[in-house]
Structure 1
Amino acid sequence: MNEFGNTKRVRRAARIIVLDVETRVLLFRFDVADRPPFWVTVGGECEAHESFEEAARRELFEETGITAEPGAQIARTTPEFITVEGEPIQADERYFLVRMNAPVIETSGHTELERQVMTSHRWFTLNELADWPEAIFPENLSEIIARQIAR
């Protein structure tokens, strides 16, 4: 039994909300054969030795080519889901915010699996998040962003 009351492996992950000067958020589209397409923030699983902050820095660079400090954790989600590799897991996802002036996204650092399933990326306005026809994770992303903007 894990700390969440189930027997699934706990997958620690750092997620980075990347905002541009127009307060648009960068999301990656995942196309996985056995499910409908979905969009997620930058980020991924922590390596065994990494803190969430270290993983956020690494994932940000690997997935976007951006070198930046992720700052303090701004949110946490603990969803259960099936990974793209087919493993049912209990996630412990910590969110960080990075604001960029004129980001250029470089995806050459993607792994082979990421190249297969992360088929595109785009910048979403907060209005687009509200009624986008495909799933966006985390489901409360617009609320997390709105709380940060209000500060």
Structure 2
Amino acid sequence: MVPGGEGAPELPPGEVRRVARVVLLDPDDRILLLHGYEPGDPSRTWWFTPGGGVEGDETLELAALRELAEETGLTGVELGPVVWRRLCSFPFDGRRWNQDESYYLARTRHTAVALGADLTELEKRSVAGLRWWTSAELSAARETVYPTRLAELLRTLLDDGPPSEPVVLSPEIVWGSG
């Protein structure tokens, strides 16, 4: 399945980065999110799932596990299926990022997490911390969370289990400057 489709907004011109993200749940069905901010304007903040770009000839699965270890220090996590796919485009750190994201479901018993020691230079300048969120906390949040509708998506995932095929989310295109 390809995100978008007929009538869907198209990504702006430029390279599309393949990204693997992790919907990491703990034994209490809380989701782990990172707290990010714009390096040039720390007042612009948001929450997002762990993950990042595929490097070299790495698979999406390996990228997801590597990014999770780098960002949270967690290793030995078994990935489940891809539950969501999303195309997105946004300004960040002075450039436009076009991404094709795959969201893997994973579970862990390890709830003591901290920002990983292997953050990239950009992550060191743009990630403030992380925390576990319940579905109810996400639903009540007044802060920006990506992907949009994460509270609803998580609730459906917890209620119905993983979908048989990844759910293709509406493309998210954020205009403006980074």
- Aligned residue identity for 2:36: F
The range that moved more, 130-139 or 108-117, is: 108-117
1:74 — aligned with what? 83
What is the correspondence of 1:103-118 to structure 2 with a 5 Å cutoff?
103-106=111-114, 107-118=116-127
Query: Does 2:22 align with 1:16?
Result: yes
Displacement of 1:6: 4.2
Displacement of 1:75: 0.7
TM-score, with structure 1 as normaliser: 0.87
- Cα pair 2:50 2:67 within 8 Å, conserved: yes
Which runs of 5 or more residues in structure 2 are unaligned?
5-9, 162-178
Equivalent of 2:95, from 87, 90, 111? 87
**Could you report, residue by residue, the CA deviation over 1:35-66 in whole angstroms, capped at 9, with x for unpaired residues?**
61111100011113122111111111111111
Deviating runs (4+, > 4 A) in structure 1? Answer: 3-6
Equivalent of 2:141, from 112, 132, 137? 132
- Aligned residue identity for 2:126: V
Distance 1:111 1:47 in 2: 13
How many residue pairs get matched? 148
- Aligned residue identity for 2:52: G
Distance 1:5 1:23 in 2: 33
Which runs of 5 or more residues in structure 1 are unaligned?
none
TM-score, with structure 2 as normaliser: 0.75
**Could you report, residue by residue, the CA deviation over 1:108-142 in whole angstroms, capped at 9, with x for unpaired residues?**
12123212211111111111112312200011222
The share of aligned pairs that are identical, in percent, is: 34
Distance 1:27 1:105 in 2: 11
CA RMSD of aligned residues (A): 1.9
1:52 — aligned with what? 60
- Aligned residue identity for 1:56: A
- Aligned residue identity for 1:21: P
